[in-house]
Chains A and B, each alone.
Chain A
């Protein structure tokens, strides 16, 4: 879908994994002269830039966290998340 919707000469970046195969018309790569990239994990410089952003207060952490749960609550929360993925955004487990 991303390849179909992207503008001509645009870029598509894949993050994360899918177990199922994806298929699309490869003529679009050439016709639109696309850049299609993978992005894996992060480098130390990404960590440093993020921490600078957080230290400057430029990211709304509280808004991003849906719930904080105890470790013992994690199995049930995983099940609830599995049943309704859109119910949670970022879950944090408070271990100690």
Chain B
């Protein structure tokens, strides 16, 4: 099957690689759509400290189940899924404290181990999220989840003003929605001019200095500037 390889920094090619076979509780999946993120660009540039080469990238995945689960009827053949691309050991301090996202020995698809930029992959059932969302939406779930997690870590509320420096647009756009309910007002997200913003409804582009001046001018805001 075909796969995208980053052979070494600056060198990417499409080459062939053996197809995986399902085993145990790992299901065989046909890869449909894979997102590229800023960390993949850093991998390509040789600036991601966690990546070794050669490496098949790809951790933002929409896929279709080829062989269904024997145990979970929601994971039937033909169902579309996204997936958690991380692993957790269950033994380290992070895992024992209920924070497996920060597992000391995590191996993320496409980073510490080969990823999903290929035709077929196998994944453990418990990593899969079946859904009727579109393939594009499924492909956006992981990057948006990273943004949600950051908003949770930063305890962002609707009263905060949140400049984001260098984040990809999707993560920045997810931040306000992470903190608000369905109809609650959104916190203000201000971005540096270097971000590649799309058209509306993205937040306005400003320099960080403009953001600081803007926040200072919000005399009634008790929170001031709380960058992420």
When each residue 188-214 of chain B gets 1 if its CB lies under 8 Å from chain A and 0 otherwise, what string results?
A: 000000111111111000001101100
Q: Which residues of A contact B152 (CB under 8 A)?
A: 46
Decide yes or no whether B228 CB sits under 8 A from chain A: yes
A sample of 17 inter-chain contacts (CB < 8 A) reads A10-B227, A17-B42, A37-B154, A40-B149, A42-B146, A47-B141, A53-B144, A54-B133, A54-B144, A55-B131, A64-B173, A65-B136, A72-B14, A74-B36, A82-B41, A86-B196, A90-B37
Say whether B33 contacts A94, CB under 8 Å. Answer: yes
- Given contacts A51-B131, A78-B44, A93-B33, is CB(A59)–CB(B141) below 8 Å? no
Say whether A81 contacts B41, CB under 8 Å. Answer: yes
Nearest B residue to A85 via CB reads B41
Decide yes or no whether A6 CB sits under 8 A from chain B: yes
* 13 extra A-B contacts, CB within 8 A, seeds A93-B58, A95-B33, A96-B32: A1-B165, A7-B215, A13-B228, A39-B146, A41-B106, A47-B141, A54-B141, A64-B170, A66-B198, A82-B10, A85-B41, A85-B196, A92-B139
Q: Which residues of B contact A75 (CB under 8 A)?
A: 4, 12-14
Q: Which residues of B contact A5 (CB under 8 A)?
A: 163, 208-209, 211-212, 225, 227
Q: Which residues of B contact A11 (CB under 8 A)?
A: 154-155, 226-228
Nearest A residue to B197 via CB reads A89
CA distance A95 to B135 in the complex (A): 11
Q: Which 9 A-B pairs have the closest CB atoms?
A: A7-B224, A42-B145, A39-B150, A7-B225, A75-B12, A46-B145, A41-B101, A10-B226, A42-B149
Nearest A residue to B50 via CB reads A17
Say whether B174 contacts A59, CB under 8 Å. Answer: yes
Say whether B33 contacts A41, CB under 8 Å. Answer: no
Say whether B32 contacts A95, CB under 8 Å. Answer: yes
Q: Which residues of B contact A82 (CB under 8 A)?
A: 10, 41, 44-45
Interface core residue of B30, B108, B145, B195 (most chain A CB under 10 Å): B145
Say whether A95 contacts B117, CB under 8 Å. Answer: yes
Decide yes or no whether A30 CB sits under 8 A from chain B: no
Nearest A residue to B144 via CB reads A50
CA distance A41 to B6 in the complex (A): 22
Say whether B201 contacts A87, CB under 8 Å. Answer: no
Contact among A17, A44, A54, A68 for B140, CB-based, below 8 A: A54
